[in-house]
Amino acid sequence: MVNPADRADRKQEQLERRRVRPDDTRLTTDQGIRVDDTDNSLSAGERGPSLMDDFHLREKITHFDHERIPERVVHARGAGAYGHFRLHDSLAEYTTADFLCDTARTTPVFVRFSTVAGSRGSADTVRDVRGFATKFYTRQGNFDLVGNNMPVFFIQDGIKFPDFVHAVKPEPPNEIPQASSAHDTLWDFVQLQPETMHMMMWLMSDRALPRSYAMMQGFGVHTFRFVNAEGRATFVKFHWKPRLGTHSLAWDETQKIAGKDPDFNRRDLWDRIDAGDFPEYDLCVQLVPVEDEHRFDFDLLDPTKIIPEEEVPARPVGTLTLDRNPTNFFAETEQVAFHLGNVVPGIDFTNDPLLQARLFSYLDTQLIRLGGPNFPQIPVNRPVVEVRNHHRDGYHQMDLHEGRASYHKNSLSGGCPAVGGEGSFTHYQERVDGHKIRKRSESFADHYSQATLFWNSMADWEKEHIVGAFRFELGKCEHRHIREGVVGHLNHVDHDLAVQVAAGVGVEAPAAPATPNHGRGSPALSQANSATDSVRGRKIAILAADGVDSAAVAAVGDALMEAGAVCEILAAHAGFVQAANGGQVEVTRAMPTVASVLYDAVLVPGGEQSVRALAGDGDAVHFVAEAFVHCKAIGALDAGIGLLERAGITGVEFASNGGTVSDTGVVTGEGPGGDFSARLIDAVKAHRHWTRRKAHVPA
Ligand code: HDE
């Protein structure tokens, strides 16, 4: 008989048994009694009082009254998907974790992405860290990699987590601001806790504004420990690298999207999977032999530090593909319970004090959030292997345990379940010796060097975005001493950065650096070095009105879609527009229902009449101008070039016909033939054309 844990789709098979479909069914109460009417309460006469005997009314309202559970105290807003992990490169030399050893193995997973500070209903595109939590349903039990999209954290010791979260969450008197770190309490915490500085550099960078969950890195943050069959340990850091590269939205864009489509990232994930355009990520590991524990100029146990990839390469070992949307948001995405303490044999912890506190927190919070100790039985949380132990009873016990013995050791159940045997988890036998103290290790004391490393690694445009972010966030702080305190710390990171921020937030610029810049960088940290070789899932707006050149729409649209992009035809109204050469073109969306911020690029096809109408339509002119300001690829054909001029897109160099793609990302042509489509595709692949950021176009 095949072990159910060995089948690739074993998680879906397990879930399938729990899926409830509405087809061909009759409405019943929770007791299975068919009801004759669910629209009118039972009452004494037509205008009389409702009656207590109406068990259907009472049950329906009672259930409704209890539909909500507490949201997560952090990471409340999320989006999830199922998928699978395929191992390409065995790590058997380092770990006994089966899903990392056997390259024939495919492991089902559930992933939940999240923002951290906002409530369940907050917008997706706020400036924030993103959670990237993965549950591997392995044949040795569940392994949870509960990571973020940034490789470091704000604090070094978990005992500071409640302080930090209180500071970043909305302020107590009025619960303002929602899902934002731009307020006094967060920055007060920062200026008094300089270990935050490295993470604040990441948070103020474009990493905090991901274009898509499919274009976002993930990190396990802490140093973990692999243990192999001989009991030998190796330190390991986990990374997810998206196949589509790591790309971000522009800050101005994120704020507008928060109003136009607050579900932007959630929708993007859903639509990609729905369209079969599955997000993919490579799992990479940085391995450090235990003998090298002290070879770095930082402590491996300090979660505010990275191991630069230039020092220890991130070795790709397998691929995660997200290929199935959940059936029910609440049942799966809301009820999923991740825990960094869920490890399988061959993966163990280290003494990172942040990690250690997390080991306590997750189970504790889930007990209240999910209402008792049986939440591992919820379908999304159940492992694909058998669960056997003496845990009994509690709220919502779903299993029927047979037998009289619910204790170990027993003779009444034949001693079952037996303890131990091959494949049992054995903790790494680390030698521990020390006094009981409350003291941060001296090896955790450097709070600035890696913040400087990050700053030095940024491209010019990334640095400008960081300065802008500090100016925005600190600019929102009412207290001058807080702004001064932060600028003081920035002066340890980089003098020029501190001076630029000071100038924007009305505090005196420091006269000289507090710490000289060490000049080192790590190219792997810059998004400028990320992959730009695909247009998969990129959304292209094609602007049209009556008289549009439908042949051009078809030719360029087909080429874009063939390359993997999603094209939508936008017009002033829904329905159809008349084509220049007769016939009709179907409109995907009416322009007033969308905005340029929801697209990666815009194409203005020719057709004199169409372009004249667009030039007279404020929405269309604004659409193009705004796409330009956000540095997106723009294509225009024939008369369509006139719309660019109407939008004030002048003073920038256009790609000439037949030439190479200009670094302005504006591609023009006399007709859809030649290499126009190829040049436009290249411009979209580039993600953004930041060189254009100095051109001022009103939008
Ligand atoms: Fe979490 N974190 N965390 N965290 N965390 C939670 O668990 C906590 C930390 C992360 O999609 C909570 O079930 C403490 C680092 C993700 O369901 C809670 C500390 C990293 C998610 C909790 C940290 C994370 C959580 C809230 C400092 C990146 C969402 C609800 C010691 C490596 C998982 C829940 C999901 C969720 C505690 C720090 C990632 C309260 C005490 C560092 C992705 O238990």
Q: Give the DSSP letter string of 65-126.
A: HT---PPPSSS-SEEEEEEEEEE-S--TTT---GGGT-TT-EEEEEEEEEESSS-TTS-TTS
Angstrom distances, CA of residue 187 to CA of 154, 167, 277, 501: 12, 8, 40, 14
The band of 3, judged by pLDDT with boundaries at 50, 70 and 90, is low
Residues 497 and 644 in one domain: no
Domain assignment present for residue 615? The answer is yes
Question: Does residue 447 line the site of ligand 1, with CB under 6 A?
Answer: no
Q: What pLDDT is recorded for position 8?
A: 60
CB atoms < 10 A from the CB of 280, how many? 18
CA of 342 from ligand 1 middle (Å) equals 13
> What is the pLDDT at residue 694?
66
Q: Kindly state if the Cβ of 74 falls inside 6 Å of ligand 1.
A: yes
- The pLDDT of residue 652: 52
In short, whether 133's Cβ falls inside 6 Å of ligand 1 is yes
Is 30 within the bounds of a domain?
no
Best substitution site from 110, 156, 166, 361 to test ligand 1's pocket, by max atoms within 8 Å of Cβ? 361
Q: Which of 69, 71, 72 to mutate to test the pocket of ligand 1 (most atoms within 8 A of CB)?
A: 72
Per-residue pLDDT band for 661 (boundaries 50, 70, 90) equals very low
User: Residue 699's pLDDT band (boundaries 50, 70, 90)?
Assistant: confident
Q: At 476, which CATH number?
A: 1.20.1370.20
3-class state of residue 493 by DSSP: helix
For residues 110 and 239, state if they share a domain.
yes
Does 243 count as an annotated binding residue? no
Confidence of residue 671 (pLDDT cuts 50, 70, 90): confident
Q: Are 231 and 330 part of one and the same domain?
A: yes
Residue 369 labeled ligand binder: yes
Q: How far is the CA of 688 from the centre of ligand 1 (A)?
A: 32
Instruction: For residue range 28-52, list pLDDT tens digits in order.
Output: 999 999 999 999 999 999 999 999 9
Q: What is the span of the domain harbouring residue 499?
A: 458-529
Same domain for 556 and 498?
Answer: no
The answer to whether position 24 is within a domain reads no
Residue appearing with tokens 């992959």: 531
Note the pLDDT of residue 214.
Answer: 98
Q: What is the mean pLDDT of residues 605-613?
A: 98
Q: Is the pTM of this model over 0.90?
A: yes
Query: Which residue of 163, 213, 338 sits with most ligand 1 atoms within 8 Å of its CB, as the best mutation to test the pocket?
Result: 338
The residue-averaged pLDDT of 646-654 equals 70
> Which pLDDT score is estimated for 695?
66
> What confidence score (pLDDT) does residue 279 get?
98
Binding site membership of 362 for ligand 1 (Cβ less than 6 Å): yes
362 is in an annotated binding site: yes
pLDDT recorded at residue 149: 98
Helical (H) or strand (E) element with 575: strand 575-578
Report the domain count for the chain. 3
- 410 in a domain, yes or no? no
pLDDT reading at 651 higher than 60: no
Has residue 660 got a pLDDT over 60?
A: no
Q: What is the ipTM of this complex?
A: 0.97
Closest residue to atom 7 of ligand 1, CA basis: 362
Give the nearest ligand 1 atom to 162 CA: 41
CA of 150 to the centre of ligand 1 (A): 13
For ligand 1, atom 32, which residue shows the shortest CA distance? 147
What percent of the chain is predicted at pLDDT more than 90?
A: 94
Long-range CB contacts (< 8 A, 24+ apart) of 618-622?
Answer: 619/572, 619/591, 619/592, 620/543, 620/545, 620/572, 620/591, 621/646, 621/647, 622/596, 622/647, 622/699
Give yes or no for residue 115 CB within 6 A of ligand 1: no
The verdict on 600 and 646 lying in the same domain is: yes
Residue 475 resides in a domain: yes
Per-residue confidence band for 209, with pLDDT thresholds at 50, 70 and 90: very high
Rounded mean pLDDT of 557-576? 98
Cis omega (within 30 of 0) on the bond before 698? no
In terms of Cα–Cα distance, which of 157, 255, 172, 160 is closest to 469?
255
The pLDDT value recorded for residue 659 is: 34
Q: What is the pLDDT of residue 120?
A: 98
Nearest in space to 203 (alpha carbons), one of 164, 231, 229, 234: 164
pLDDT at 438: 98
Indicate whether 443 belongs to any domain.
Answer: no
Q: Mean pLDDT throughout 127-143?
A: 98
Would the pLDDT of 230 be above 80? yes
Among 475, 508, 529, the domain boundary falls at: 529
Could you tell me which residue, 2 or 600, shows the higher pLDDT? 600
Question: pLDDT-based confidence at 5, cuts 50/70/90?
Answer: low
Residues catalogued as catalytic: 75, 148
Pair (559, 588) in one structural domain: yes
Query: Which tokens is 304 given?
Result: 């505010």
Residue-level pLDDT at 673: 86
Does residue 242 have its Cβ closer than 6 Å to ligand 1?
Answer: no
Interatomic CA distance for residues 682 and 665, integer angstroms: 9
Task: Say yes or no to pLDDT of 370 above 80.
Answer: yes
Q: What's the whole-number mean pLDDT along residues 535-543?
A: 98
Domain of 656, CATH number, reads 3.40.50.880
Share the mean pLDDT of the chain: 95
Question: 222 with 336, same domain?
Answer: yes
**Same domain? 103 vs 237:** yes
Quick check: CB of 585 below 6 Å from ligand 1? no
406-462 pLDDT, tens per residue?
Answer: 999 999 999 999 999 999 999 999 999 999 999 999 999 999 999 999 999 999 999
Place 627 in a pLDDT band, splitting at 50, 70 and 90: very high
Specify whether the CB–CB gap between 335 and 382 falls below 8 A: no
521 and 641 together in one domain: no
Residues 462 and 519 in one domain: yes
Between 40-49, 131-140, 398-407, 684-693, the lowest mean confidence (pLDDT) is in 684-693
Q: Report pLDDT for 664.
A: 82
- Helix, strand or coil for residue 498? helix
Which of 335, 351, 377 finishes a domain? 377
661 three-class SS:
coil
Instruction: Encode pLDDT of 481-508 as tens digits.
Output: 999 999 999 999 999 999 999 999 999 9
- Asked if residue 41 belongs to a domain, the reply is no
N residues, the chain: 699
Contact 585, 570 (CB under 8 A): no
- In this predicted structure, what is the pLDDT of residue 297? 97
72 annotated as ligand-binding:
yes
pLDDT single digits (tens) 44-93: 999 999 999 999 999 999 999 999 999 999 999 999 999 999 999 999 99
Largest alpha-carbon pair distance within the chain? 89
Q: Is the pLDDT of residue 620 over 90?
A: yes
Give yes or no: residues 597 and 523 share one domain.
no
Do 510 and 545 have their domain in common? no
Give the residue from 361, 377, 393 where a domain finishes. 377
Residue at 509 is within a domain: yes
